[in-house]
Amino acid sequence: MGLVGYIIRRALYSILLVILSVLLVFFLTHFLAPDPAAVWAGPHAAKSVVQAIVSEYHFNDPLYVQAYYFVTGALTFNFGISPYFKQPVSSLIATYFPRTLELTFFAMVISVLVGVFTGAFAAAHRNKKGDYSVRLFYLIGWCAPPFLISLILQLVFSYKLNYFPTSLLADPALATPRFVTGFPLIDGLLAGDFPYVESHLIHMALPVIALTFISFGLITRIMRSSMLESLKADYVRTAVMKGVGTRRAVYLHALKNSLIPVITVIALTFAYLIAGAVVVEFVFGYEGMGYLITTALYNYDYPTLVGCTMVITISVVSINLVADVMYALVDPRVRLGG
Amino acid sequence: MGLIIVVAFYGWSLLEGVLQFAGMVLHMSSLGWVLLPSDPFKISLNQALLGPSPAHLMGTDDLGRDIWSRILYAAPVDAGVSVLVIGGGLLVGSLVGLPAGYFGGLTEEVSMRSTDLFLAFPALILALVIESTLGREAVYAVLALVVVWWPSYARLFRGETLRVKSMKFIDAARLSDLSGLEIIRRHIVRSTFNTIVSYATIDLGSSILVYSVLSFLGLGIPPPAPEWGSMVSFGLEYFPQSWWYSLLPGIVITIVVIGTALLGDGLRDVIAGEQ
Amino acid sequence: MDDVIDVSGLSVDYRTAGVVHALHDVSFGIRPGEILGVVGESGSGKSTLALAVSRLLTTPPAYYIDGKILFEETDMLKARASEIDSLRGTGMFMVFQDPMMSLNPLMRIRDQIIEGIAVRCRRSGETFERRRAEQEVNEHLTSVRIGDASDVASRYPHQLSGGQNQRIMLAIALAEKPRLLIADEPTTALDVTSQAQVLNVLKGIVKESKMAMIYITHDLVVAGSFCDRIAVMYGGMIQEIGTAEQVMRSPKHPYSSGLITSLPSQRKADGPLVGISGTFSWDEVGGICAFAPRCPLVHDECKKGVPALVRVDTRLVRCVNYGEKPDG
């Protein structure tokens, strides 16, 4: 089959999945609601607006025509106009989504680092105090609702200790840098606007910590069990027998082999982080996708909600694909076949 | 340890839930709070936003209502939702997963691809969309969550079925002329029960988590009925001065979820020991 | 010449649900350049012996109950972990039975052999040089009769057969030049020709570098031709130990003679194949002669206790029929 064949196969399947998920959303949004046009237009729309919506979005046409328009719309990132924001949904997403991606990126990187380290630590101290304290720690992170963690962090750091500011992307007094990529960090760096970058980083700190705390447990868990498996493996015994020393045997042989299952969890972590971001951003007042979704929710802005869902799903499927490809690259048993 | 928490939670919820239901049927709504320290609906504005004290274990909210009573009163909601969601998820999951594993072929392929499809959506997002479409009531929240949860159970059931299928006694049963469904019913269900139990326990907690976020976002039971997640969001206005309003319900949620997680883990260890 | 390794009275128990006396009163010594064959059926304790001697057993479930293992000057049972670590690889090297899992699936063959070379260089003070090491890898692979050495060297274990993996382990042994090599069924996965070639190579190296070797196998024929001395194991105990010629030509222990007679070469052209009746079970071991349940020469004395190893001519035999009464 070969590596290239595998990648192509997975990519095709991902595309299929995206299309199917768009269809599913279409099905959910058009079948389940008794009057889709009204839902789409928003609760405050006048009758005339609803009529306009009906013709614009082809709500009176047969189902497969509707589906066609919906799917092609979605794939070209045309999600309609937001009744609340009075803007095309796609431009809203283009503004807000990158900010969330920044948060999730940092949170993922830190989660992986923390997770790998704590997982290996827990495996090494199996069933002793070190193991139990790690497990307790991630249990709390896993079980506490995201809003609780965010609130506690806010309480402790922002209000009581006054270290970190409590809301928004950056100090509101600072002007936003020129819109190049939509990623505030990158735009700020490109513009050479270091006060902005610094302020932005500070404002990101708490949300990232909150997100990391809720998701690192996933990685710790799998790292720990993976390590325990590897440590028992024959090739570790061989390495010890060869005289390489226990430390090298563990860190090189066991650890490296343990990292492979972690890759499979990374995509899962991303999905979990996005969901958590909705709440975390709301609590911290960070204006990203979460903010967009919650605002859309409160204001019955249906098109925005649907658009956000599509974009998020596409991202999750893409990350899944990347993770699968990475897995194939790293594991020679998959890469080269028998 | 987890057992204690879970039993306390569900036991209490059952008791309280029965009382509330009876109260509703008999038009004696005060039946619902006969066991509580205070009336969860009584408004006394001069007692508003008091911190935790012996009189009010968790303080009062902006309308002077005792928070601890409201938390206790709202417990059956989360308990009920979790049971319904996981039960529904198991039901649908088994209907999809068992045949998929047993019959294989096209059935299996279609089922597994559809679970892939549903699992591509982060849980919260999918639930949000579904509920926004159907209507913002607790009933739809439960429905939405069932849609979110069934795919993982379908996979579990299929995996278990495959595992059991390869074991010898299935062949023996087949030889003794039992029909396909019979075999599924007798052997496979019994053997998958063990694995499912520990997952389901942990999932009870996870569903409470997701539901509390939904409720936090206003997609649960509308006020004045208390509900853990929505209590947190109402408390945000008074945060951080009246921190108990938002934090304490959140902590209660955490404890319950931890309880289920510990219990589920413990069950898994016990089952692994048996096998 | 002093023994490279001297084991006396070694006993190891496995404690899981019950207690299994995996090894009991095992004693032998090996001189440099000498090959000791350990022969027995599966479950006889041969592999446990190998792991016990190199201290690779995990406790629990294995426990050293009694005895002494002296490797050169080091008391293996009393030494600290760091001392034992420094003996591994270049002092004592073991080739395990299952080749497929013994190599790291994520590392290329070349790197795994180079790892061994690096250990050797570190210990002997040689300078390690990557280019020279890679050449050495090819040499060793060729020595164990792996064709197309440089191609194989850049592959991963799962791309090669079990037999090749087994020989790669031997190649690593060649790279580390241990003073004691323990090989657990190293050639079972090989066809007869390759087996003969590999054994030739091994024998050459053993004799030339005065390596001591323990060769574990169930194949008595190979043991007879390859080894200098043979120890026959049954039920976790050495039942007979002597020179290869002695054991093969005139076995004294009933189990040994049973093994010899059951060799296909021993029977007449169209006579029946003779086996040893019954099968081995650990439940029957303990307090009596381990072979008693299946022995054609069994009598009441055999059930009174475990027979001691006694000297018969120039070898040792553990059988009531030869020695004084067993200790009850």
Task: Please tell me the predicted confidence (pLDDT) of residue C270.
Answer: 65
Looking at domain A95-291, its CATH architecture is Orthogonal Bundle (1.10)
Please check the confidence at residue A136 and state whether its pLDDT lies above 80.
yes
- C234 and C325 belong to one structural domain: yes
Residue A325's pLDDT band (cuts 50, 70, 90):
confident
Residue A266's pLDDT band (cuts 50, 70, 90):
confident
- C168 and C246 belong to one structural domain: no
| Residue pLDDT, tens place only, A19-34 | 888 888 877 777 666 6
CA B61/CA A225 separation, integer angstroms: 44
- C293 part of a folded domain: no
Which sequence spans correspond to the domains of chain A?
1-84+299-338, 95-291
Nearest CA in chain A to C182: A241
Nearest CA in chain A to C87: A243
- Among the three residues C177, C199, C232, which one is the final residue of a domain in this structure? C177
| Residue pLDDT, tens place only, C183-223 | 988 877 777 887 888 888 888 888 888 889 999 988 888 88
| Residue pLDDT, tens place only, C98-109 | 777 888 888 899
- C71 and C140 belong to one structural domain: no
The reply to whether A26 touches chain B by the CB within 8 Å rule is: no
Number of domains in chain C: 2
- C74 and C12 belong to one structural domain: yes
Highest mean pLDDT of the ranges A68-77, B97-106, B211-220: B211-220
Please tell me the least confidently modeled range out of A200-214, B20-34, B234-248: B20-34
| Planar angle of CA A166, A169, A174, nearest 5 degrees | 105
Task: Please tell me the predicted confidence (pLDDT) of residue C137.
Answer: 92
CA A143/CA A138 separation, integer angstroms: 8
Residue C248's pLDDT band (cuts 50, 70, 90):
confident
- C83 and C118 belong to one structural domain: no
Of C88, C105, C159, the CB nearest to A241: C88
Task: Please tell me the predicted confidence (pLDDT) of residue A25.
Answer: 80
Of C103, C119, C123, the CB nearest to A238: C103
- C282 part of a folded domain: no
- C46 part of a folded domain: yes
Q: Say if residues B211 and B78 touch (Cβ distance below 8 Å).
A: yes
Q: Say if residues A282 and A290 touch (Cβ distance below 8 Å).
A: yes
Please check the confidence at residue B170 and state whether its pLDDT lies above 80.
no
Task: Please tell me the predicted confidence (pLDDT) of residue C213.
Answer: 92
The reply to whether A247 touches chain C by the CB within 8 Å rule is: no
Judging contacts by C-beta atoms under 8 Å, the chain A residues touching residue C85 are 240, 243, 245-246
Q: In this complex, do C105 and A234 lie within 8 Å of one another by their Cβ atoms?
A: no
Q: Which residue has the higher pLDDT, B149 or C296?
A: B149
Mean pLDDT on A44-58: 67
Task: Please tell me the predicted confidence (pLDDT) of residue A71.
Answer: 74
pLDDT mean across residues, chain C: 84
Residue C309's pLDDT band (cuts 50, 70, 90):
confident
The reply to whether A105 touches chain B by the CB within 8 Å rule is: no
- C173 and C64 belong to one structural domain: no
Task: Please tell me the predicted confidence (pLDDT) of residue C138.
Answer: 92
Three-class secondary structure of residue B16 per DSSP: helix
- Among the three residues C177, C206, C241, which one is the final residue of a domain in this structure? C177
What percentage of chain B exceeds 90 in pLDDT?
Answer: 0
Task: Please tell me the predicted confidence (pLDDT) of residue C113.
Answer: 92
- C75 and C186 belong to one structural domain: yes
Residue C13's pLDDT band (cuts 50, 70, 90):
confident
- C123 and C58 belong to one structural domain: no
A142 closest CA partner among B126, B261, B197, B196: B261
Q: In this complex, do C123 and A243 lie within 8 Å of one another by their Cβ atoms?
A: yes
What percentage of chain C exceeds 70 in pLDDT?
Answer: 95
The reply to whether A297 touches chain B by the CB within 8 Å rule is: yes
Q: Which residue has the higher pLDDT, A115 or A285?
A: A115
- C129 and C189 belong to one structural domain: no
In angstroms, what CA-CA distances link A66 with A78, B154, C275? 14, 31, 80
CATH number for B2-10+67-270: choose from 1.10.10.60, 1.10.3720.10, 2.40.50.100, 2.60.120.10.
1.10.3720.10
**Residue A145 to chain B, least CA–CA distance (Å):** 6
Q: Which residue has the higher pLDDT, C49 or B237?
A: C49
Nearest CA in chain C to A230: C104
Residue B15's pLDDT band (cuts 50, 70, 90):
low
The reply to whether A29 touches chain B by the CB within 8 Å rule is: yes
* Domain that includes residue C19, residue range: 1-91+180-256+307-328
Please tell me the least confidently modeled range out of A122-136, B26-40, B232-246, C86-100: B26-40
Task: Please tell me the predicted confidence (pLDDT) of residue A338.
Answer: 46
Mean pLDDT on C72-99: 85
Residue C327's CATH number: 3.40.50.300
The reply to whether A32 touches chain B by the CB within 8 Å rule is: yes
Q: Which residue has the higher pLDDT, C327 or A220?
A: A220
* C79 phi, psi to nearest 5 deg: -70, 155
Mean pLDDT on B148-164: 82
Report which DSSP code applies to B188.
I
CA A337/CA A45 separation, integer angstroms: 59
Mean pLDDT on C38-62: 85
Task: Please tell me the predicted confidence (pLDDT) of residue C185.
Answer: 84
ipTM for the predicted complex:
0.81
**Residue A282 to chain C, least CA–CA distance (Å):** 44
| Residue pLDDT, tens place only, B199-219 | 888 888 888 888 888 888 888
pLDDT mean across residues, chain B: 76
In angstroms, what CA-CA distances link C147 with B186, B213, C102, C107, C144? 56, 64, 21, 20, 9
- C10 and C83 belong to one structural domain: yes
Mean pLDDT on A51-67: 67
What percentage of chain C exceeds 90 in pLDDT?
Answer: 10
CA C157/CA C163 separation, integer angstroms: 11
- Among the three residues C120, C155, C177, which one is the final residue of a domain in this structure? C177
Three-class secondary structure of residue B52 per DSSP: coil
| Residue pLDDT, tens place only, B174-199 | 666 555 556 656 666 666 777 788 78
Mean pLDDT on B247-269: 82
Mean pLDDT on A133-159: 81
Q: Which residue has the higher pLDDT, B116 or B17?
A: B116
Please check the confidence at residue C328 and state whether its pLDDT lies above 50.
no
Mean pLDDT on B94-107: 79
Q: Say if residues A295 and A305 touch (Cβ distance below 8 Å).
A: no
Please check the confidence at residue A110 and state whether its pLDDT lies above 90.
yes
Tokens coding B13: 């919820």
pLDDT mean across residues, chain A: 79
| Residue pLDDT, tens place only, B33-78 | 666 666 767 776 666 667 777 666 777 777 777 777 788 778 878 8
B220 closest CA partner among B137, B107, B146: B137
**Which runs of consecutive H residues, i.e. helices, occur in chain B?**
2-25, 67-103, 105-119, 123-134, 138-165, 168-175, 180-183, 189-216, 228-235, 243-274
